[in-house]
Every structure is written in structure tokens, then in C-alpha cells.
Structure 1
Amino acid sequence: MKDYFKEAKELKDQLIKDRRHIHENPELGLELPKTKAYVKKRLEDLGAEVKEIGESGIQATIKGEAGGGKTVLIRCDMDALPMDEETGLDFSSKNKGVAHTCGHDLHTAIGLSTAKLLTEHKKDFKGEVRFMFQPAEEIFKGSKMMIENGVLDGVDIALALHTNLNHKAGSISYYEGYMATSCDNFKINIKGQGGHGGYPHTTKDPINAGVIVYQQFNQLISRDANPSKHTTLTFGQFASGSNSNIIPDTATLQGTIRTYDPEIREKLLKRMDDIVKGVAKLTNCQVDLEFFASVPSLYSNPDLTKELVGYVKDSSDVEMISSERLMASEDMAFVSEKVPTVYFLLNSKVEGNEFSHHNPKVDFSEDAMPIGVGLFLTCAINWLNNN
């Protein structure tokens, strides 16, 4: 079995060039004009079949020449985050208030070099590899948009990876089953009737209603969720009032709930609705619950994961670390609902950099990128030829 990881190492200079260009020019959400143009040109120069999908999505296809076969999808997300960068890197973001602090710049560079090597190995594989260069992962809109526009039509399996900061570069982590949590961000708007702080009985206190919601929602984790399962609920906002002796008219709470287990997710979302209705009745306030930026748990197909990990172990000396998963969420989950999917964690910790994803000072090891390319090639080519 061929060791594609060795070939991938020869592309490190190009990987770094691509990564740093994308890192310097971060863009947000569904509007990635510079990133799209750069990626599209690089793919067209390789001779891939390229088409634009939606606002900033790119689909690229490379067909093998070893006969008919199936289709493997490789997803690469391209968007950045709305924050300033404080790394001090020579190639720091040139766009104020926008930065690649999640590693999507590495993901995109890995996808481009994977495409390059696949074009050089057309004679070595059956079927085809389809690339899904995706915008708006951070707001959970890009994957759905590209799926609705047919990116999964005819796809048999899907692959993706994400930078991981639990281990230094040189290894790959994986999990068999639900490996990234669902996410349901919520907002609660409470409308009461304000008044004088000395006459609370003449008001409908929205702060009181908000406190009850806060307490009851937090009890969902201790009383409604199975304690053997990983589930979190966090409030990030509780806003109301302007003065010590004025009961306000309104209050606003925002938060997020996450779990790996789809049954727990369904149960808790229903219970949240029940609580809000009960608090409204109890306090005589209007209490409205809104969910936004929701995404299911990402399922890494166990049988397929075992098969692909086997290809890596049989053809290289790259360390594979099992049973590692994320409490973060990922819109690749929408793909995993449609086709068998495997999601890898590309270990990329920079020694001495102790910052997390989404931190303005975080950095990722460029030594990890050739490993990502080798991973995609090993999995895609061997799966196509064996299936």
C-alpha cells in the first residue's frame, strides 16, 4: 500500500504559501469573494472540474482513470471569525475585525494540495473525488446551503478534518460515533410591566421571570439529562434594567445547549419550551423562546472510521489516537445525516502556544498540513479502489 504521507511532505512550501495567503485575507460567513477567487483559480490551474455553488461555495471534481467507481466527498471550510488577531505573526490578518482563529485557513490549504496530488494520481484510482470548499461553517449556514444546491448528489461517503490543539503535530485523532456535539443557541425575550421599585406588586417583573428561567434551565442538566451523557447548558447573556429602583419592562437572556445524544437533545428542547410556558403563566409576563444557529451532533460512522483508520495504519507510521471528540459543534453534521461520514482531528498544537480555538492569540502548526494531505489521499484512494 502506497505511503501518500511521504509525497505530501514535498508540498509543504506550497501548503504554507496557500495557508498564509488565506490567513492574511480572512472573510466572514457566506461572503468570501477573495478566498473564493483564490481557491477557484488554484483548482482551475490544476485542471479540476470547478463550479460555484451559492454565494461562495466551490465544488471541484477530479476523476480517476482506473475505470468506473464511486464518489468520495472531501469538505474544506474556508470562513474566518469576527474578531481581531493578536498573534504577532508576519502574516497576520490584514482585515480589521476578522481573523482565522479556528484553523480553516489550514483546512483550505490542505484541500488545495490534496487536489494537486490527486490530479497526479488519476491513473491510480477508480471513481471520483469531489471537493466541497464551504463558506459559513462558523454560523452553520454553509453546509446546508451547499447540500440544498446538490453538492451531495451521487456522493457515497464524505471526509473532513479539523485542527486540534490537544496534541502537537504528527498525529491524528478520531472517534467512532457521535463525536461533535449538537448546538442549539437560544434567545429568551421577556416582556413584563415596569414600575417603581417600591411598588413591585403593581408590576410584572421581567427580571424575576428571567431568574426563574435561568434556574430551571440549569436544573435540566442535573435532573432531566442522563448523568452518564455529556450535556452542557450555558447562559452568555442576561440583560435588563437601568437603575436600582426601577423595575424594567423587558429582559433578555441568551445561551447555548450542547449534547452528543440526539434523544437527550430532543427531550431537553421540549422541556425548555415547557419551562418557558410555565414561567409565563407563573409571572404574568410574556416569555418568548427562540432557537437559532442550530446543528445536530456530528456522526462519524464507526464501520467506515475503522476502515479508513486501517488504511492509514497499514501504509504509514502516523500515530492514530482513538476515542477523542469535541464539545464544540460543526456543520459537517448536516452532511453526516445524509451520507456515511468520517471526521478526523488533525493535531496541530504549537509548542508554547496555550491558547484555544477562537482566541485572538491562537496559532496552529504548519507541520500538520502535509499530514492532513496524506490522510485525505490515503483514505480517498484506498476506499475508492476497495469499494
Structure 2
Amino acid sequence: MSSQESEHSGVNADSTGDVSELLTIRRYLHQHPELAFKEYETSAFLRQELVDHGIAVRDINLDSGVFARITGERQGPHIALRADIDGLPVFEESEYSCHSLNRGYMHACGHDIHMTALLGAAFELQKMKESLRGTVDLIFQPAEEVGKGAQAVMKAGAIEGVQAIAGIHNNPDYLPGQIAIGTEAMMAGCARFAVRLHAEGTHAGYPHKGTGPMEAMATMMLSTQTIVSRNASPFHSAVLSITEVHGGSVWNVVPAEAGFMGTARFFSEEDRVLLRDRLRAQIAGIGAGYGIEADVEWEDVSNPLIGDQHLSAMVADHVGEYASLQRIQPSMAGEDFSDYAHAIPAVFAFIGSNGRPGHHNLHSPKFLGLDECLPTAVRFYVSTAKLLLQHLG
């Protein structure tokens, strides 16, 4: 066990079941990340763990993802707990004691933590099913990283009848044992954009005989960086970032095609529309000035994540029983749990997973989510499930 892990990694056996079982599960999942909608081995592993603990697995028409149900002995409300299961195409460089065995892939967003915590909660809820009044669905959701998994789950009918849903995301900005829940926006809405320039290619020695796209693209990229600073309110948080650039393949040819891609992040519908419309207007204007055509593709990936006001406040009031409640530090990362939150009442929590000075953030190849965060995540799921069943009942 590495130096950053204590003998039991901070996991309390009294509240999270078998310590060694949870740590073994987390290590296996961390070592076997799979990409969105291809989480086949992950799904098989999760399914077997549930079956081994006597938990009924549901047959949902999706190629990946696992869905299970714990039915209490007494009738009552119907709720769901969700964890995401996909990894990222990132080569791991973290200090975690068990590196990914799938070379070039990594749980750089800590979804291995989420899956382990939901399994741990499921094991505990199964033990207390005789005292449960109602039904708890367990959703191990595929494809969160591409922003399409929640919609696929909903289209497959997996949340039909569910009255409320709860989810988590580990957050390395908080220490293990800390939780942030509130009624304000927690995670940003996310959009993807792609700009494609169509010009007249030519010989590099005769640029005047073409309408090359490279200078136009450079101007566009610089101009887009003024959209937030000179159009959005300084009291609003928004980001527009360019992340990919493509153009040319031969040193002495001015290409006919070029383009760039990026993402926009926002916390309100007003800012989403503003960023989209200003991007389109700038690209069209600059393209016209250079005498080239430019297309803008805008795809809304996820909405801002805002939990149900009443349920979030209620759950937050009970966090002190098992963790330290913190103020929300809104995240510019997107989260497709927001799709559930737009459909049914939802509660979401940030679970502290590191908090050390100089820690590496989500999606970094050096990201490290500590085992010590597991007990807090398990307790959140279990406590919130019991609270929701009691409240809705």
C-alpha cells in the first residue's frame, strides 16, 4: 500500500461494510477503465457484484450500464441512486498504487470512486431492506463523459416511475470527509462547437490567387476570446475555450479547408444563447471580411446542474451527521446528471476526494482520488436514500 494510503485508507468498517471488499472493488475498477458506451467488462463486473449480494438486476435495453432494484418490505416511494461508469482516453501518470491496465485509458474523473461508493451503498441498503419503505433503483450509467449517457438511460425507460434521484461527483478541491450540497448551480452547462472554413486553396508562393483560411482562422480564434469578456455580464461566470485546431498538411500549399473546435460553459440559459449567437455572428463577419465561407456547428451537451431546492436543503441539513458540510464552489465541468434533474427532483453532492496543496484536477493524467473519500460517498448515498424515502412517503 502506497504512502498516501493509511492501513484502512480512512474507510470505517462500521458504516461501509467490509473495508477490504470496497478497496478491492475500487482497485479493480480503477485498473480496468473503458470508454463511453463500451463499458462491457465494467458492466459485467458490476452485475456480478450485485448478484453476489442478492440484489436484483434489471434488464434494460442498453449495451452497457447496469440497473438494479432494492425493494423494501413495505410499499412506499420510488427513488433512484446514480453513478457514472465510463473512463477517459488518458494515459495514467498518477501516484495511485494500482494503475490502469488498459493502456491509454484512465479513470481520470474518478468514476471508479462513484461506482465503488454506489456498490457499497447498495450492499448496506440490501441488508436493511426489511426496514425500507419503498423502492431504491441503482443506476450505473454509461457514457457520462460524452454527455449522452443520461439521455440514453431515460430513453430506455430506466427511470420510469422514479420520484426523485440522487448522485455524486468526487471533487479534489475538497478534503475527504467533506461534502458540498446546496440550492445554487453546482456544475456548468456545456456546449461543443466546431467551425469549418471553406476557401480557395493555392500555391504558397501565390497567396493572392486564393482565399486561404489560415489567417481568417487565426483572427476568428483571437476574436472569440472577447465574447465572454466583452459581451457576458461580469457578474456571470462563463467560459469559451478553443481546444482543437486543424488546417493544412503540406508545407508549400495554402489549404482550402481548415477549422477549429472548442467548448462553452455557462450557468444560465441567457448566457448559453448569448455565447452561441455571438460566436456565430463573429465567425460569419470575419469570414465575409476574408472572402471565405464558414460554418458553425453548435451542440448543447448538458444543462447547468441545479438540484431540487427543497430536497437539496433537506439533505444538506443532515450532512453533519456523517460529514463536514462545505459551501459550494461551482464547477465549470459539465455533468449529464443535469438531464435527470430537469426531468425529476434531484439531489447532487460534491464528495471531497483530495484537497491537498498542489493536487491535480479532474481529467489530468496525474489525477488522484484518495480511497479515504469512499466512506463519505457511501454514507451520502445511504443517508439520502433513507431521507428521500421518508420524505416522499
Q: Calculate the TM-score normalised by the size of structure 1.
A: 0.92
- 2:31–2:98 Cα contact (<8 Å) kept: yes
Cα deviations by residue, 1:83-121 (Å, 9 ceiling, x for unpaired)? 211235442111111111111001101111111110111
- 2:92–2:365 Cα contact (<8 Å) kept: yes
Partner of 1:71: 78
Q: 2: distance between equivalents of 1:380 and 1:45?
A: 22
Partner of 1:58: 66
Distance 1:350 1:16, change over 3 A: farther
- 1:191–1:251 Cα contact (<8 Å) kept: yes
Letter in 2 for 1:273: R
Cα deviations by residue, 1:28-71 (Å, 9 ceiling, x for unpaired)? 11011111111001112222221243110211111112x32211
Q: Does 1:142 align with 2:141?
A: no
- 1:185–1:254 Cα contact (<8 Å) kept: yes
Match of 1:360 among 365, 377, 392: 365
Question: Unpaired runs of 5+ in structure 1?
Answer: none
- 2:180–2:351 Cα contact (<8 Å) kept: yes
- 2:304–2:334 Cα contact (<8 Å) kept: yes
Partner of 2:21: 14
Q: 1: distance between equivalents of 2:91 and 2:13?
A: 36
Q: 2: distance between equivalents of 1:76 and 1:52?
A: 18
The farther-off stretch of 210-219 and 194-203 is 194-203
Shift of residue 154, structure 1, vs aligned partner: 0.7
Q: 2: distance between equivalents of 1:329 and 1:245?
A: 41
Letter in 2 for 1:60: A
Q: Does 1:228 align with 2:235?
A: yes
Partner of 2:282: 275
Partner of 1:334: 339
Q: 2: distance between equivalents of 1:10 and 1:41?
A: 18
Q: 2: distance between equivalents of 1:287 and 1:215?
A: 16
Q: 1: distance between equivalents of 2:118 and 2:297?
A: 36
Shift of residue 172, structure 1, vs aligned partner: 0.8
Shift of residue 353, structure 1, vs aligned partner: 6.6
Cα deviations by residue, 1:337-360 (Å, 9 ceiling, x for unpaired)? 111111101101074772221122
The farther-off stretch of 304-313 and 280-289 is 280-289
- 1:184–1:291 Cα contact (<8 Å) kept: yes
Cα deviations by residue, 1:347-386 (Å, 9 ceiling, x for unpaired)? 0107477222112222111111111111111111122112
Q: 1: distance between equivalents of 2:177 and 2:368?
A: 16
Q: 1: distance between equivalents of 2:351 and 2:322?
A: 15
- 2:340–2:346 Cα contact (<8 Å) kept: yes
Partner of 1:382: 387
Partner of 2:53: 46
- 1:350–1:365 Cα contact (<8 Å) kept: no
Superposed, 1:33-182 pairs within 5 Å as 33-53=40-60, 54-65=62-73, 67-87=74-94, 89-182=96-189
Distance 1:361 1:202, change over 3 A: same
- 1:15–1:370 Cα contact (<8 Å) kept: no
- 2:189–2:305 Cα contact (<8 Å) kept: yes
Letter in 2 for 1:223: R
The runs of at least 4 aligned residues of structure 1 exceeding 6 Å deviation read: none
**Percentage identity across paired residues of the two chains:** 28
Partner of 2:8: none
Shift of residue 196, structure 1, vs aligned partner: 4.0
Partner of 1:300: 307
The farther-off stretch of 330-339 and 265-274 is 265-274
Match of 1:208 among 204, 215, 223: 215
Aligned residue for 1:337, secondary structure, equals helix
Q: 2: distance between equivalents of 1:297 and 1:235?
A: 20
Letter in 1 for 2:29: I
- 1:185–1:257 Cα contact (<8 Å) kept: yes
Shift of residue 224, structure 1, vs aligned partner: 1.9
Q: 2: distance between equivalents of 1:209 and 1:361?
A: 36
Match of 1:25 among 27, 32, 35: 32
Letter in 2 for 1:61: R
Q: 2: distance between equivalents of 1:382 and 1:167?
A: 24
Question: Unpaired runs of 5+ in structure 2?
Answer: 1-11
Cα deviations by residue, 1:307-341 (Å, 9 ceiling, x for unpaired)? 1111233xx15210023221111111111111111
Distance 1:335 1:69, change over 3 A: same
Distance 1:35 1:202, change over 3 A: same
- 1:12–1:369 Cα contact (<8 Å) kept: no
Partner of 1:349: 354
Cα deviations by residue, 1:261-315 (Å, 9 ceiling, x for unpaired)? 12210222123223333333332212111234722111222221101111233xx
- 1:181–1:258 Cα contact (<8 Å) kept: yes
Aligned residue for 1:70, secondary structure, equals strand
Q: Calculate the TM-score normalised by the size of structure 2.
A: 0.91
Shift of residue 240, structure 1, vs aligned partner: 2.4
Letter in 1 for 2:208: H
| RMSD of aligned residue pairs (Cα, Å) | 2.0
Shift of residue 165, structure 1, vs aligned partner: 0.8
